[in-house]
């Protein structure tokens, strides 16, 4: 009995994988951090393609590893009015932040450099392998 329980526990602990380290948008953290790129992921609770992005792309182990190591990743949920992000000393909800940036569809991923210069905007779903290629191009400074 104990041996069977041990095997079940071992199975469940080995299937739990790493997750993306999502941050809030805070000017000071970004400017003083050691990562050169920022990923702004705009999502909404009601968005089916956002769920697909979370289930497939953002759960891919290579994407998680690359994002955590090289990118300051920010998840902005337009449905959550209590999750505030700080921009120029203003505290904005996800909906206000999305409006300010000009996001009008979900999901939207905006990738910037450390100075918040936009490098790439992705509207809609992106496959894990395509996203991984883009992340590697950016982190190797091959993006023009």
The residue with tokens 């904005």 is 92
Segment 99-128 shows an average pLDDT of 93
Which domains are seen in the chain, by residue range? 18-139 (3.40.30.10)
Q: What is the pLDDT of residues 33-53, one digit of tens each?
A: 788 899 999 999 999 999 999
pLDDT for 17 equals: 65
Most confident of 7-16, 20-29, 74-83: 74-83
Segment 93-105 shows an average pLDDT of 91
The structure tokens listed for 77 are 């949920």
In angstroms, the Cα distances linking 122 to 14, 20, 135, 136 are 33, 18, 12, 16
> Which SS3 state, helix, strand or coil, does residue 42 take?
strand
């Amino acid at each position: 009995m104990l041996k069977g329980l041990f095997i079940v526990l071992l199975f469940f602990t080995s299937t739990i994988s790493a997750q993306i380290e999502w941050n809030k948008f805070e000017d000071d953290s970004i400017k003083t951090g050691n990562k050169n790129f920022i990923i702004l992921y705009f999502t909404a609770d009601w968005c089916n393609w956002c769920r697909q992005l979370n289930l497939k792309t953002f759960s891919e182990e290579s994407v998680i590893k690359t994002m955590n190591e090289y990118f300051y990743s920010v998840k902005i949920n337009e449905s959550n009015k209590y999750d505030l992000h700080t921009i120029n000393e203003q505290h904005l909800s996800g909906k206000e932040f999305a409006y300010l940036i000009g996001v009008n569809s979900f999901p939207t991923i905006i990738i910037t450099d450390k100075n918040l210069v936009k490098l790439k905007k992705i509207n809609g779903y992106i496959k894990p392998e395509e996203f991984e290629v883009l992340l590697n191009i950016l982190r190797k400074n091959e993006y023009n």
